[in-house]
Amino acid sequence: MRNKPKWLRAKLPAGPVYHAVNELVETNKLHTVCKSAQCPNMGECWTRGTATLMILGNVCTRSCGFCAIQTGRPPELDLGEPARVADAVAKMGLKHAVITSVARDDLKDGGASVWAATIRAIRHRNPNTAVEVLIPDFQGSYDHLDIVLEAKPDILNHNVETVERLQRPVRKTANYQQSLNVLRHGKKQGFTTKSGIMLGLGETQEEIETCLRDMREASIDIITIGQYLQPTQKHLPLDRWVTPEEFNYWKSFGLEIGFGVIESAPLVRSYYHAEEQSDRYAPKDQSAISA
């Protein structure tokens, strides 16, 4: 990979809080997207005492061209995982927990029932914690999505990842319109929705603009935009380093076209500073999810 520009230099992992988070994750036999996806913000987030827990194991049934998570045949379901996730959220003292998962296309419901059990376990153990779920597309099944929504997460997050033209090389088993429909479906039921894209994969300026307009048309509330980082030589090549100035431009553009909150900077990831984003987003009508 080409030498990183200075604006992509992230904080190195260190300190007692970092080690405490690491130990908690290990003791509770959990996985984090921070480690599995080689997130550049891991040092900063774990030093602040937050980690993004990844459920349904750490082996994904898909193999997206950009993603560092291990792929293959996942091991058997771990039915004790929801309770251990809830315990870790309590011990980290999170006011806002972000949970994600690998894709489990091998399971009948795509893992939706485990998602729901995890949301409920977190709520039960941590009644004051907001739960943001960064979900897979459940292959477009609204039935499976509804199993997750019935557990009433506070924020429904699903990434579109890239512009429409680049969907196939970037995530060959997913689909741009299907992802937008997942978010539309959540919005129709009154959920706060969130999505994100990476830049630096070969997209044009016009394509970024169209993608943001499409996300706006799908009534997504919160948007994240960050730099693509090639995890290994086997992953999709980097096309360009996007400057902080360009990220600022997309932020202004996003606000102009009506997004409630838009985070756009080189190191932004969909779970990065998620608590601050949700604090800044004031939904107009949360009645559908407050029951």
Residue with tokens 């048309």: 217
Torsions phi, psi of 222, nearest 5? -125, 135
Question: Between 171 and 273, whose beta carbon lies closer to ligand SF4?
Answer: 171
Q: Quote the least distance from Cβ 251 to ligand SF4, whole Å.
A: 24
Per DSSP, the three-state class of 259 is coil
> Rounded to the nearest whole angstrom, what is the least distance from the CB of residue 101 to ligand SF4 in the complex?
8
- The rounded distance, in Å, linking the Cα atoms of 283 and 223 is 14
Residue keyed to tokens 């990831």: 269
The helix/strand/coil state of 232 is coil
- When the beta carbons of 38 and 177 are compared against ligand SF4, the nearer one is 38
Cβ contacts of 58 within 8 Å, gap of 6 or more = 31, 36, 69, 70, 102
Q: Which is nearer to ligand SF4, 67 or 92 (CB)?
A: 67
158 vs 251 by CB, closer to ligand SF4: 158
Closest distance to ligand SF4 from the beta carbon of 72 (Å):
11
Nearest distance, CB of residue 35 and ligand SF4, angstroms = 13
Q: Return residues touching ligand SF4 (CB under 6 A).
A: 60, 62-64, 67, 69, 71, 102-103, 136, 171
- Compare residues 69 and 97 and give the one whose CB is closer to ligand SF4: 69
CB of 177 to ligand SF4, least distance (A): 17
Classify residue 8 by its DSSP letter.
Answer: G
CB atoms near residue 124 (< 10 Å): 11
